[in-house]
Structure formats: structure tokens, C-alpha cells
Homo-oligomer: A and B are copies of this chain.
Amino acid sequence: MKNYLLTPGPTPVPPEALESMARPIIHHRTPQFQEILKEVEDNLKYVFQTTNPVLIFSSSGTGAMEGAVTSLLSPGDKAIVVRGGKFGERWGELCAAYGIEFIPVDVEWGKSVSPQEIKKILEAEGSRLKAVYVTLCETSTGVTTDIEALAKITKSSEAVLVVDAISALGAVPLKTDEWGIDVVVSGSQKGLMIPPGLAFVSLSEKAWKLAEESTLPKYYFNFKAYKKSIEKNDTPYTPAVNLIMALREVLKLIRKEGIDNLINRHRKNSKAVRDAVKALGLELFAPQAYSEAVTAVMVPEGVDGGKLVKTMRDKYGVAIAGGQSQLKGKIFRIATMGYITEDDLKKGFEVLEIVLAELGYKFEKSAGVKALERGLAS
């Protein structure tokens, strides 16, 4: 059985990248590897849309998120944490782990934060408020945050805007320098199309100033050490060499396609998915603030959400994601990120229809697949 991966990370890996990982490993403290790291760094800046260095960590995205707390803040600093899903909550957990007092802005899961609410808090708080932690695409709910609006607000404050863009970089618009985003955190296994194990962070000048003064304890995720190294095309600790080889290949693919084409493709594909969902009589979990990287769908009444995901995967080879935490069994999620092709999505909806029918859900046969195809052809 051929397996299809329509999950919001890991996403399918292009053959060029898979093949590169199977090549004999080279040593990382060599001019040969330095040259590769330089190429990767240049192309990461292109994807991040920044002229600032992009730091590369051997870790999951969570590790780089930890660095975005410990490498920026100092004891006594305060932060705002937007929590509208599992990954927003993680920002709060990270602040708490390091004793950073934070103002939680709790958003109903499936809704997006109001930038005006953040503005009000920033105006009310003094200069102790140093950072606003938000999530670009909340993978657990399929919601997108209006980062452009938030960046306008933080720009005129003393606080930096820190964006978890792990599951959306390269899939939804994110203009780091143009919008004035201070810190962008990302990971390898989503829009960047390679296996998990690498994480990335870019910092604005304003953020680097904060990092210079930061006194929270840190070591492995100390941003300053990585900046010093990357300026010499090096890494402070042994990097995940083969994953960097894979990254090199996908970044070539992204440059070839062009960032605007890439974003447009995700827009079209995710619109087609939403159309297909509606054509099946299903309800979107986030009809307003939907993300173009992952679409969350309400499990219809009478259908067992866990069984839907399991049957699609184990009987038909199509992996989608179920709900997490409070949404377990209530939603399912279909990704449109990275190397997920139109054919993958067609296969996904064919199997979704088969399994929905098996589980007793009533709908017009082929309505989903047809709507998807219309959307993809437009």
C-alpha cells in the first residue's frame, strides 16, 4: 500500500532531499561543509524574507522556541502570550519554566486574536513588558494570526514581536523585514519539506539588542553563540549534517519555484480543500481565521473522529491528523503544506469520502472530490 502524508508535519519529503540524506556523510569542520552552510544560510534568508542572519539549531521547533524566551529575556521581564491552541499554550509553559511573568491572552480555540486587544495591553503596561509571543499558524486549530497588524502595533512599543512560524513558513505570507517582525521561529518538517530535527530563528536589530542584555540562563539555545558561528559559516555544536544536506535541496526547489508562486500555490490548494469540505456538507472549525497551511474540519455528528483518522491511515494509507487536547475526536486536520501535491489532495478526498461513507455519514457522492478538482483547476 502506498502511503500518503497529509499531516501538518511531518510533511512529505521531495526525492531530491531524501536522496541527499543517503549520501555518505561529510565532516562539518571543513571548507566543503562551510560552503554548503553558506548557501543554505543565503537561501534561508530568502525564505524568511530577511537580511538578518537565520540561526540553525539541531532540535525540534520547541527548542528554538525555548531559545526565544531564554535568549531574549531577563528575570523581571514581562511578556504577553497569545493562547489559542496547543502551541500558543507552549509559549506560556516556556515563560513559566523560566520564571517569566506573562499576561495570557486566551483566545477561543478556532478564533484569531484581536490585534487591538494586544495594543491595549501594551499601552497599559510599562517598559517591563518586553515581548509578545504569538503563533502564525496554530497547527492544533488551523487558525492564522494577523501578524502584519500585530507587527505595526509592537513596532511603536518597546516590546518585540516573537512569532512561532513553525508550521507556516513557506506556506503562508510572512514578510519578516517588510512587516517588521522581530523574531521568527521555524522548523524543518512543515513548509520546509524535510524531516524533523532542525529549527530556525531570525532576529531583528531590536531583538538582538534585547538578546545582548538577556540574563536568563541558557546554553544550547544561546542565540549569541549561534550568531557568532554563522557569521563564520560554522555552528557552535555538531550540526545535524544530513538534515542540512536535505535542507540545501529543498531550498533550491523553493528558490526555483519562487516565494510568491509558492505562497499562491498554497492559497489555491487550501481554498480548494475548504471548498471540498463544504461540498461534503462538513463544517470548517475556523471558518474566518483559517490557515492556508492546514485546514481543521469538524467531525460530523454520529462519526467517530478517532476511527475516521485510523481507518484512513491503516486501511487506505492516507494519514491525516486528528484533534489534539480539548479537540481530540472533535476535529480532523488536512495539511496543504510543502510537498503535498494536488494528486495527494485528490487521493486524500477520495479516501475521506470512502471512509465517511463507511462510518455512516450521508453526503452527495463525489461532491468533495469534484469541488476539490474545480478549485485546483481554477
Task: Please give the residue numbers on chain A whose beta carbons come within 8 Å of chain B beta carbons, in ascending order.
Answer: 3, 5, 7, 9-10, 12-13, 18-19, 21-30, 58-63, 66, 93-94, 97-99, 187, 189, 195-197, 216-222, 237-243, 313, 319, 321
- Tell me which residues across on chain B come within 8 A of A5, comparing CB atoms: 24-27
B63 and A238 contacting across the interface, CB-CB below 8 Å: no
Tell me the minimal C-beta distance from A368 to chain B in angstroms.
Answer: 22
Complex contacts, A63 vs chain B, CB 8 Å: 58-59, 63, 220, 237
Copies in the complex: 2
Tell me if B22 and A66 are in contact (CB < 8 A). Answer: no
In the complex, the answer to whether B27 meets A10 with C-beta atoms within 8 Å is yes
Partner of A22, one of B22, B62, B221: B22
Closest B residue to A67 using CB positions = B220
Residues of B with C-beta under 8 A to A319: 26-27, 30
Contact of A240 among B238, B241, B243 (CB under 8 A): B243
| Chain B residues closer than 8 Å to A30, beta-carbon distance | 313, 319
- A22 and B19 form a contact (CB under 8 A): yes
Query: Smallest CB–CB gap between A132 and chain B, Å?
Result: 19
Query: What residue of chain B has the Cβ atom nearest to residue A93's Cβ?
Result: B219
At the interface, is chain A mostly helix, strand, loop or mixed? Answer: loop
Please tell me which one of the listed residues B26, B66, B239 contacts residue A60 in the complex, with CB atoms under 8 A apart. B239
30 A-B contact pairs sorted by A residue (CB < 8 Å): A3-B24, A3-B26, A5-B24, A5-B26, A10-B238, A10-B241, A12-B24, A18-B22, A19-B22, A21-B21, A26-B319, A27-B319, A28-B196, A30-B313, A30-B319, A59-B59, A60-B220, A60-B237, A62-B237, A66-B219, A66-B220, A93-B219, A98-B217, A187-B238, A189-B238, A195-B242, A196-B239, A196-B240, A216-B217, A217-B217
Q: Is the CB of A58 within 8 A of B242?
A: no
